[in-house]
Structure 1
Amino acid sequence: MEPYFSLLKGLGKRKRDTRNDSHHDRNLFSGGRSVRRRFAIDSDGEIKIKREPRNDEEEADWQDNDSEGADTIDRDEECRYSEAEEQFPDSPLYDERLFDIKQRLSDIAEEAEQILLQAECSTEDVELLRRQVKALRKLPEAEPKLIGLVGNAGRGKSSLLDTGESVTWVPMVYRRPFADQENRFAGRIEYLDLPDIGKLLFDATRDWHFYHIEKPAKLKADEEEELKRYADAALAIYRTVFCGTDDFSTEVKSAASLTRLCVSKASARQRTTELIKQAEAVMMQLRSDNHVDPGSIDTASKEELHHWLDRHTDPLTTIDVPSLWPFIKQVTIGVTGSRVLNSWTIADLPGLADLNPTRVNSALRTIDSCDHLWFFDQVGRMSSNNEISKYVSKYGRAFKGNLLVVGTRCAENVSVDLVSTYARRGIKIDGLEEYKEARAAAGHKLGGLKRAENNLAHHKGANVSHKSINIRRQIEEVNQTIQSLEDEWWTKVVQGRNEFITRELQRQCQTYLPKESPLKVFCVSNAHYEARKRGEREKKFTLPIEATGIPALRAHALRTAAPATFKRFTHFIDHEFAVFLGGLALWTGKSVGRGRAALVGVINQPREDILRQLQSTTQDIKDQCRRRITALLHDRQNVFTAAAQEVMDSTIEPATWATWNAFLRRRGNWSTLQIRDSWNELLSDEVRDELETNIWYPFMDYCHAQIEELQRQVSVTVESITKYLESEPAAVGLPMRTFKTALEAHIEGLSRLFSTAQDELERGLRAIILDVVNDGEDHYFAAAMKPAYDKCLGDYGRGVLRRWHKCFGIYLARSGQQSPFYIMAEAIERDVHGAVEICMSQLQSNVEEKLEKIAKDCKVMVNQQSNSAAERPLREAISTFLWKAIPKFEDVQAELAEIEEDYSGPYTKFKNAKGSRPSKSQSRELVLFS
């Protein structure tokens, strides 16, 4: 019986080899260095072994070893690789001067905090300053972006993460540590909500019904096998969850119970409601009886985490006690000590060919919220099976080139025949004849040495023993020479194939990508990478560590995340830190004055203008959505209907009952050898093409331009505040220069608010277009066709195929507001309006909060100074502190600008070459998913 969540027939679960757990440190969870010798890659690409003894005693041991001869060195240990050798990418974020800057900022904040804490007064102003300086003590981190790993079973996603047993039927999300996480690893399980659970169970009963009750007498063997697979999967779900009840305690009883459910006279809604109640009861019972462990773990042990995952997510375990794994929506793993996971959240998604539509829909929803996508396939077939090009055609434009391809198993199935094949295609791999000659010479020499060794075996004596030792040493040297020849030659072949694959994929996919963003392809070998880390060899040859592709992929992840992280840091300095120091200066500079209270009202004059600008932009974008999207789709509705009817006549209507049955059960989201694309995609092809090619992206560009213009208007309006104040006679004598400096810091904060709003709106609109171009159970066209699917599914018996044809044809031909294309267009407009309103309302709230802070600074500046005796010493202390702190802070700003300039432009000037190499304390953080 196939597990319900298996992806492709014949691709089972990959078991972890526990025999190697003691010495095999996995990519995801590996820590720092644990070896004495490491590879270093020099500028010429040669691998050199670098010694790093841990202490003086070990240094003495190495000296002894060197004096005694190389044959006493452990060869495995000598060959091991550590991520600590890898350099950071060239980026201002990784410049070592940044660490000094952070320390100087920390010193400034710490001194300010000490002054405020030691003060004996606790006025409202002082308490506010204390809260502000406490917030400054923790340097900010950029919110991690989300990478989605996309690919069907067996493509190598989980192997790249190296998480132990494969759990590709469960979405696995890896992230930075949870807020309450105490150990290195923590796991959280999220279950489907009750309506989704009810739907999953109801669909399972349908699968059972179609095979065991409604199946026609005459079916093709492959069609019957497909129906049986789904029926068996349905039985497995019910037995797994409800085996604690008498109705599902055995397989025979479970089959009988499922049949009773199918023939029940209750409506679909009633049956679903009842199934939800039963599932909820089982979940409560299991948790109250502690039959299942809590849905979370916090542990320092990698093995304990793996065991917890297997216990909760393994569908191949024996059905003896109830389990909730069919109801799992997502597992989230928090990992401490990973630089990559501090910048990225990574979602390892089930394949989109999963048997479970609820889980596929969940994967599609995760893709909608991703910022980057990594597509996976095996190198040997990725340029010929069109799987990657199909992914890129769907997601390339929406993600604006923020995607890449990972080709796995790049060292498999390479042969000498590839050399001539690639030569004909313009990729020349030099050195074949030289390799053959050198290999033959080394083999000949090895054979002679082995014969000499065998001859010496028949003699005795001290001289013979010395010769034997010398021959063994020569044999080892020749074997190492042969290994080097094999490694060097086959690495060339592998790299030649990688180059060919990359070129072919870029040629196939560039149409769907921005011209300035060619497709990035990383060809990797997890097996050879792990062999290098363990100090072992693969059969035939072993790739050098750089040729495995893993370090390059890791560097790409760090490099891609660096700009946003660095930008967040500079914003922290130019806005939050500057606002705090400006506020301190205003507070200490307050002077007694009369008739200035009215000046506070001047600050509020621009606020009404800004709110009107926000509301006007929101309404304008919504109006343009109606004009640029909805109206155009309505105008071409007849064209879309005619194109769908043509597909209906030529492709869908001629299909057999079994094909109709399979597509109807999955609401059109299915494929067969005859009909490879989803019905929903086929029927909506014309409207999807119109939207994506001519309508959608110009509208997104319009939205982007509108928010940029709004940002400009708001910045100009806020900058005008100083002009309003300076024009008032009562403002004479106020510290306007200090206020203007603080205002500039606030404007920097406004700039970030608008950038965030741009990103959020773009993400929301991208999710909408992805729901248009991809098929999913609740995506736009599928949702518009739902009444037709439901009506067909509720009809069975003699002549049903003819009635299905009629039902579908009538529904597609509906005109006006009843047309599925009209319904689809209105749903798109509704969601666009929703995305715009959510984004703009959040922006308005954030802008109002910022204006309130500006008004508070103005109040601090113009209000009368209190006569609190306790505050006077504090003001004097802060004035003295600012006299030193502000020049230090300005120096920090200047040096930060200098660092940024050093890494900008076509020619970078690196003032500190060591800046890109990690220190020993940082080396552990370099591991890709550690």
Structure 2
Amino acid sequence: MSPESNDSVFISTSATSSRGSTARWTPDSTPRASAGRESSSSDSDSTSLPILTPSSSSVVSFSPHTSGVFRFRGSPGADAVRSSVEHDTVSPRRLGSPGPVGGSASPSPSNMVTPSITLSTPPPNARVSDLGQTHLDLDDVNTAINRIRLSTETPLDMSGMAAALPGTTPARQNPETSSSNVPNSQDRDLGRPVNRSRRSSSRTNLLPHDVRNEEPPSDRFHSPAFQQAFRDAKALMGSLAEVLSSSTIQLEPDSTLHELSRTAQKLANFQCPPTRIVGLVGDSAVGKSSLLNSLLDEDNLARTVSNEQLCTLVVTEYRYHELGTFAIEVEEYTQTELRELFTDMVANYRHNHFHSAEIEGDERGHWAGLANLALDTFSAMFRGRFTPDFLISGGQQEVVETLMEWSSGRRSAAGLHVFERQEDCAEELMRLTSEEASPRRPAIWPYIKKINVSLNAYILSRGLVLVDLPGLRDLNSARQVITERYLRCCHEIFAVCHSERAASNESVMAVFKLARQAGLSKIGIICTKSDLFTAREAIRDWPDERGHRVQDLIEHKKTEERILADIEEELHNLLDGEKEEKDRLYRDAGRQSITVKNLEQALARYVIEERNRVVTAELMAKYGPEVPTGNVSVFCSSNKLYWDHRNKTPVDGHLPFLHLSGIISIRKHCLSLVSESQLSIALSYIHNEVPNLVSRLDLWVQSGAGDASTERKEAVRAALDQLERQMREKLRARVSPVYLIGGLLRADFDENIYQRRDTRRWTNGALNAGSEWGSWHHSSYAAFVRNYGIYTTDVMGYRNWNEEGTETMVEDLSQPWDTFRSVLRDRADNLVAYLNQALIEAAESQDNLPEEFMDSAEPLYDALASCQRLLAAEVEDLCSAFESQVSQLRTSALSGLRTGFFGQSMETTYAAASQVYGTGSWARKKSIINSKLADEDQFIALIRRFRQEFRNLADQLQTDIRQRVRERLDFVSGIMDIIRSENVAEESEQDPEFRERVAVEVRRVKLAMEEVRLVCAR
């Protein structure tokens, strides 16, 4: 059951007809039989859906067709003005009037009429008990109108039409529209204005929902004032770019103005880059694709119907671009990665084929599943030339090499594909990620590692990236690893599951377990298909007041349905001649049908909202303790509800159901994630990048307006040269932190982490853990081996062998790691302070400039100061990214994740032990595992890898910082060249009129940016 529209209207009618026509209304079809009863409405406000009405009146007109049946032809344009004939009387003089005043009066057939219906909002104090008089859905009006047929046997009586329209009230005489006020023919012929009351309609209510009008997150970045100031700043850059492009000077590639003009255009088109990644992970067929379609507000973009085994195999990113096109970029597995995949799948199939008879218990099902996955994948990849027997013909390596040869001859799908239409993009996504219809054409999806989809979606426009990920319980080992690695890079993860039994969903549990191991704190849950919980299920599951409330709503609805049936029965039994009674019953039936419909909506809404509350409370109670904050974000969603009401009008009547779908709340939450980072980027744009360009333009204008002597100019060049040398010497000195940062960080790691290694103790700790596992029942032991040491059984519960095997190492290094992180932060702070001081000193040493060049001192100081702030921000960003990378490195080195260092070193050991079968297999499995745990070289290799990967990060940080410093110094040199270069002065002097236009625009931008900065500071 899907709640329908909730629009409330009043109806009144009038009509005009050519003089002398005769007509009467007759039913278009015969209503079904029912007994006559008066309509009734509930007086209980607590059990009915609140009445929602358009914010202003709407006009809906209809015209006769050749069959004489009147149907809606839709609303006029929102700005169209229609003469109001509400409550008008039908008089010969009125009926003889032509069309609107000032327009041509086209003759119409004498047997045609043009009735109109004005839909008005009910009084603001309308109650639920008044549903019968106030609430009318447009579909109900349409149905009633379709039952009316125009005939020419008798004079037209508008009361018949009024009776046919549910909810109508008798027409009343309106003094303002009496015959004395009807314009005469002379007025019409001269096109003079006619004094008529007019009724306008609201464009907003006539349009469907617009996601851009949704309430933004309540933070500074999303505030309307800040967003407007941000737009104003970009608009100022746009007007500045337009002025700069008005001269031919900027067409010269080597000119300074060319570079300034290009920068202005770049700032005018500035978009905040993506800064936050939200991953959606869940099992197949839980509705992730449908959820993504709703969040993106793009119906049917992502594939929603396909083979459940295949539908989550490809990582798909959704990113923003401001173009109106859709772009798909495909990244395929490398040859090395493909060989690893083939080797694993061939080994799995052959092991199951040759040894399935000897494999017992749960292990048989495990290997059969892996074998089927290999068979399905190879069948799809090499359709038309592959048979299962091929996988067992010859040696394993020979089979893998043949598969690699087959794959090399295919046509690659990698690269960028751009589409103008959403339908074409969706079709290509389907082709890339699903089975081909042709029985001989190979599938593409097994070769794809990741797909990147770019589109102009509102939720992505503020710097968000949405990612659809395979489930963590995927049989495909490679896909499972990809998901685990990708989730560690996400800023927030949502586990997606069905609302039904969400609290016991194993996929959700797996996500939270992974998050705990990886130290991730931003974890949420989205429950889909919240609308599928029925009223009968609610009564069964809620033996309390809520269940009684649902039962009362059901009984109330049944009562109203019986009343409606009685009215329809009575209508059917009436004779055609009993006109007045039939008119009354038509009105009663219309009112009663709306009462029933509102009760249906109220029931559905109450059940969904209460069920959402129950599910949310259960999930928060269960998973809240699993995250550091103690609070987990939980959302319940219904994609069906969203799309049922997304494009319906008027929007006011459907907005409650859009909110009920949960999609708007999820979208708002996702947007709030980018607020802090995007605010920082936007403020840097406003306070640093724009002022820097304006200062450089100011210097360019002044360079062509001076008349200093050659000696003075030489003095200026010498002073600026000295200033530049001082900066370069300070920033590029071998003793500066810019050149020492990498070595300092490496030394810090060795002192705090590497020198505290005790590999013998760590090995003994792993052996002790292995001894405990060896005491388990052989079936439990085998299950953990099959699942790479991470599993859950009824007896043992959830255990992670990798985590337990490294417990002693983690214990020894946890406290030193905390100290080490503090040292890293101090190093970053000292580096930024050093850079700031170096550039500030340079900016303040301009006093050596000759007096006639002091006009340039202020813009030069501003330009250098903005350079200092930009460099500081860039270095801070590099240090912040470095700290995140180091945190992920710590997770790899000191966690029990399968993709961690210890988990990777145990991977082949688990695989080897899992292939042991038959008599004595348990002892052999334990021997394989314990031998690996007893090898001290495993921990020696682990800590060395830890140190080497940290050194790589430290070296890369030093390289990046040096590069930024060099670029910024070159930039500063370019600023100084605007003053000291003769070429720039000549360039500025070429067109004095143009230079003056630039000067005026620069002054205007300066003043306007002051207001922008004031707004942003609030």
- What range describes the TM-score normalised by the shorter chain of this pair? 0.7 to 0.9
Is 1:161 aligned to 2:292, yes or no?
A: yes
- Equivalent residue number for residue 142 of structure 1: 273
Q: Aligned partners of 1:36, 1:61: CA distance in 2, in Å?
A: 28
Counterpart of 2:939 (choices 821, 824, 828) is 821
Is 1:498 aligned to 2:612, yes or no?
A: yes
Please state how far the C-alpha of 1:688 moved relative to its aligned partner: 8.0
SS at match of 2:355: coil
Q: Deviations over 1:15-60 (max 9, x none)?
A: xxxxx9xxx9xxxxxxxxxx99999xxxx99743356756279775
The answer on whether the counterparts of 1:207 and 1:231 sit within 8 Å (CA) in structure 2 is yes
Is 1:811 aligned to 2:932, yes or no?
A: yes
The answer on whether the counterparts of 1:76 and 1:534 sit within 8 Å (CA) in structure 2 is no
Q: Deviations over 1:450-483 (max 9, x none)?
A: 224324423312325x544543543443343344
Please state how far the C-alpha of 1:352 moved relative to its aligned partner: 0.8
Is 1:207 aligned to 2:353, yes or no?
A: no
The answer on whether the counterparts of 1:398 and 1:769 sit within 8 Å (CA) in structure 2 is no
Please state how far the C-alpha of 1:196 moved relative to its aligned partner: 1.3
Please state how far the C-alpha of 1:198 moved relative to its aligned partner: 1.0
AA matched with 1:236? D
SS at match of 1:147: strand
Counterpart of 1:884 (choices 987, 1000, 1009) is 1000
Counterpart of 1:780 (choices 898, 901, 926) is 901
Counterpart of 1:259 (choices 392, 402, 407) is 392
Q: Aligned partners of 1:769, 1:751: CA distance in 2, in Å?
A: 27
Please state how far the C-alpha of 1:194 moved relative to its aligned partner: 1.0
- Equivalent residue number for residue 28 of structure 1: none
Q: Aligned partners of 1:858, 1:556: CA distance in 2, in Å?
A: 46
Deviates more, 1:93-102 or 1:191-200: 93-102
Is 1:745 aligned to 2:900, yes or no?
A: no
AA matched with 2:1001? A
Counterpart of 2:770 (choices 645, 648, 652) is 648
The answer on whether the counterparts of 2:462 and 2:678 sit within 8 Å (CA) in structure 1 is no
| TM-aligned CA distance change 1:399 to 1:104, over 3 Å | farther
> Pairwise mapping of residues 265-284 of structure 1 onto structure 2 (< 5 A)?
271=398, 275=400, 277-284=401-408
SS at match of 2:687: helix
SS at match of 2:393: helix
RMSD: 4.4
> Pairwise mapping of residues 94-105 of structure 1 onto structure 2 (< 5 A)?
94-95=224-225, 96-105=228-237
Q: Aligned partners of 1:389, 1:851: CA distance in 2, in Å?
A: 52
Q: Deviations over 1:387-419 (max 9, x none)?
A: 546534543696764443222233343658969
- Equivalent residue number for residue 856 of structure 2: 735
Counterpart of 1:239 (choices 379, 393, 409) is 379
The answer on whether the counterparts of 2:348 and 2:374 sit within 8 Å (CA) in structure 1 is yes
Counterpart of 1:760 (choices 868, 877, 881) is 881
> Pairwise mapping of residues 347-496 of structure 1 onto structure 2 (< 5 A)?
347-385=467-505, 388=508, 391-392=511-512, 394-395=514-515, 401-413=521-533, 440-441=555-556, 443-463=558-578, 466-468=580-582, 470-488=584-602, 490-496=604-610
Counterpart of 2:1011 (choices 895, 898, 902) is 895
Q: Deviations over 1:226-249 (max 9, x none)?
A: 22222222222233333443xx2x
Q: Aligned partners of 2:751, 2:540: CA distance in 1, in Å?
A: 58
Please state how far the C-alpha of 1:613 moved relative to its aligned partner: 1.0
- Equivalent residue number for residue 669 of structure 2: 556
- Equivalent residue number for residue 73 of structure 1: 138
Q: Deviations over 1:726-750 (max 9, x none)?
A: 3689998583322111111112211
> Pairwise mapping of residues 48-87 of structure 1 onto structure 2 (< 5 A)?
48-50=53-55, 55=77, 66-67=117-118, 73-74=138-139, 82-83=209-210, 86-87=214-215
Q: Deviations over 1:251-286 (max 9, x none)?
A: xxx33321124xx2x7xxx55xx72x5345334433
> Pairwise mapping of residues 288-327 of structure 1 onto structure 2 (< 5 A)?
297-315=417-435, 319-327=439-447
AA matched with 2:279? G
Counterpart of 2:754 (choices 623, 630, 633) is 630
Q: Which runs of 5+ in 1 are unaligned?
A: 1-19, 25-34, 249-253, 903-930
Q: Deviations over 1:642-696 (max 9, x none)?
A: 4433432333564548964x76566546666666657553543625864896455
Q: Which has the higher contact order (CA 8 A, sep 6+)?
A: 1
AA matched with 1:602? L
- Equivalent residue number for residue 358 of structure 2: 217
The answer on whether the counterparts of 2:327 and 2:418 sit within 8 Å (CA) in structure 1 is yes
Please state how far the C-alpha of 1:710 moved relative to its aligned partner: 1.7
Q: Deviations over 1:842-898 (max 9, x none)?
A: 12211221122113323443x364597664244x45663454334433333332233
SS at match of 2:317: strand
- Equivalent residue number for residue 615 of structure 1: 739
* TM-score normalized by the length of structure 2: 0.71
Q: Aligned partners of 1:901, 1:568: CA distance in 2, in Å?
A: 14
- Equivalent residue number for residue 949 of structure 2: 831
SS at match of 1:334: strand
Q: Aligned partners of 2:883, 2:934: CA distance in 1, in Å?
A: 34
- Equivalent residue number for residue 30 of structure 1: none
Q: Aligned partners of 1:193, 1:370: CA distance in 2, in Å?
A: 23
Is 1:872 aligned to 2:989, yes or no?
A: yes
Q: Aligned partners of 2:514, 2:917: CA distance in 1, in Å?
A: 36
The answer on whether the counterparts of 1:152 and 1:353 sit within 8 Å (CA) in structure 2 is yes
Please state how far the C-alpha of 1:384 moved relative to its aligned partner: 4.2
SS at match of 2:440: coil
The answer on whether the counterparts of 1:389 and 1:505 sit within 8 Å (CA) in structure 2 is no
Counterpart of 2:660 (choices 533, 547, 552) is 547
Please state how far the C-alpha of 1:71 moved relative to its aligned partner: 6.9
Q: Deviations over 1:403-443 (max 9, x none)?
A: 4322223334365896998899xxx97xx877766764554
| TM-aligned CA distance change 1:651 to 1:601, over 3 Å | same
SS at match of 1:582: helix
Identity %: 16
Please state how far the C-alpha of 1:721 moved relative to its aligned partner: 0.8
Q: Aligned partners of 1:833, 1:658: CA distance in 2, in Å?
A: 41
> Pairwise mapping of residues 568-587 of structure 1 onto structure 2 (< 5 A)?
568-587=681-700
AA matched with 1:203? D
SS at match of 2:329: strand
AA matched with 1:107? S
SS at match of 2:886: helix
| TM-aligned CA distance change 1:384 to 1:837, over 3 Å | same
The answer on whether the counterparts of 1:528 and 1:543 sit within 8 Å (CA) in structure 2 is no
Q: Aligned partners of 2:475, 2:420: CA distance in 1, in Å?
A: 35
| TM-aligned CA distance change 1:544 to 1:846, over 3 Å | same
Please state how far the C-alpha of 1:193 moved relative to its aligned partner: 0.9
Q: Aligned partners of 1:56, 1:589: CA distance in 2, in Å?
A: 53
Q: Aligned partners of 1:575, 1:769: CA distance in 2, in Å?
A: 35
| TM-aligned CA distance change 1:218 to 1:207, over 3 Å | closer
The answer on whether the counterparts of 2:312 and 2:470 sit within 8 Å (CA) in structure 1 is yes
* TM-score normalized by the length of structure 1: 0.77
- Equivalent residue number for residue 244 of structure 2: 112
- Equivalent residue number for residue 336 of structure 2: 195
Please state how far the C-alpha of 1:794 moved relative to its aligned partner: 8.6
Q: Aligned partners of 1:842, 1:76: CA distance in 2, in Å?
A: 68
Q: Aligned partners of 1:879, 1:57: CA distance in 2, in Å?
A: 46
The answer on whether the counterparts of 1:422 and 1:500 sit within 8 Å (CA) in structure 2 is no
The answer on whether the counterparts of 1:760 and 1:839 sit within 8 Å (CA) in structure 2 is no
- Equivalent residue number for residue 920 of structure 1: none
Q: Deviations over 1:493-525 (max 9, x none)?
A: 54344345444544444445454x843222222
AA matched with 1:524? S
Which entry has the higher C-alpha Rg, 1 or 2?
2
AA matched with 1:647? A
Please state how far the C-alpha of 1:76 moved relative to its aligned partner: 11
AA matched with 2:338? I
